[in-house]
Amino acid sequence: MNDSSRPTWCDIDLAALERNYRAIEHLVGASKMMPVIKADAYGHGLIQVASRLEDIGAPRLAVAYVEEGLALRAGGITVPIQVLGGAVARQIPLFLEQELTFTAPSVDKLLQIDEAAKAAKTTAKVHLKIDTGMERIGVHHYNADTLFDTALRCTSLEIEGVFSHFASADDNDLRSARLQLERFLEALKFYDDHNLPTPTRHMANSAAIVALPEAHLDLVRPGLLLYGVEPIEQTSHIVTVEPVLSWRSEVIYFKVVEAGNSIGYGGTWTPENSTRIVTLPVGYADGYRRGLSNRAQVLINGNRHNVVGRVCMDQTMIDIGATSAYNGDQVVLVGSDGINNITIRDLAQWSDTIPYEILTSITARVPRRWQP
């Protein structure tokens, strides 16, 4: 790190990303992989992650919005890219220009895509979205035949795939997830009934990759798991992945606070005895959530210490008790130091949210350092 760099940063281990990809690839066997790299690759860096995945042979990638697909093409990514969200009509030409793969969640959208592709004298690549219980986007499973019939009549489309999405594959009780899979497979009988080849089938997100091997089908969509965060308990018994992101800061201030003197906004924490407090240059504007106030821990010199007082927009205070810390000492917000470790899941539990939100909330003002 150079002398002028900000004293709060994330390290992104691209070798760990590759190892995770290989571990998941081995687990799913004959199923193909479509890594999900939406939301700046879950905060890990869209272009950097995509480039590594393309280099190691990922056959295709998935994003949420067309803008992410455009950024990938501008960054030199050439593999097929599926946009998982539905296409807004005025953006359909962008898909066609950059050879992005559409998601068609309705008959109307399918017809719009076909019409635009016909006008452009090209063929649009499309995956049909079936709603099996998420009630978000997609044709209801019991109306899927209408979408499939319409697709057969379209002349400027290549129907590459059909997919759905689990609402609760990370639950301990998987009955609902299994019902969704059953509905999806039932809808797909349309193709057998009409003596047609079935397009590529995909449904498994990270949790289903681990918990529902019967849902691997032809293609899986690893997201959280790819970045080394366990989507469900007992993940490590099924596949071993390692965190790709670590988050660190530095001590920038030290003071002794006397007993009875409250810390921070609102005075939400007051020491019973004289103690040592250090301040870190990180706060909720960086994605270190306010909900971590008086709940989270950090690692300094390998030891756990408590966050005290309210997390501020730009600064956070830590109680180090009778121990010592000096300006410039490294502080682990997420990662390992000696035998101790703080995970993304820890931060999520301390702030009453999910790991996805923690990762995608680390803001752009936190520099990323990519390790090859």
d(C-alpha 91, C-alpha 23), whole Å: 36
Secondary element (H or E) of residue 317:
strand 316-321
Residue 225 token pair: 């798991």
* Residue in this structure with the two tokens 């490294």, named with its chain if needed: 330
Residue 364 token pair: 């752009």
Q: What letter represents residue 80's amino acid? A: P
User: What are the φ/ψ torsions at residue 184 (nearest 5 degrees)?
Assistant: -65, -50
Q: What letter represents residue 173's amino acid? A: D
Residues carrying an active site annotation = 38, 265
Maximum Cα–Cα distance for the chain, whole Å? 80
Residue 176 token pair: 């609902």
314 exposure class (CB count in 10 Å sphere: 0-12, 13-18, 19+): middle
Helix (H, G, I), strand (E, B) or coil at 12: strand
For 105, which DSSP code? -
* Backbone φ/ψ region at 316: left (φ over 0), alpha (ψ -120 to 50), beta: beta
* Backbone φ/ψ region at 287: left (φ over 0), alpha (ψ -120 to 50), beta: left
Residues 6+ apart with CB under 8 A from 344: 229, 243, 245, 334, 355, 358, 359
Contact 67, 46 (CB under 8 A): no
d(C-alpha 49, C-alpha 37), whole Å: 8
d(C-alpha 348, C-alpha 229), whole Å: 11
Q: What angle do CA 258, 310, 5 make, to 5 degrees?
A: 95
* Residue in this structure with the two tokens 């349309």, named with its chain if needed: 190
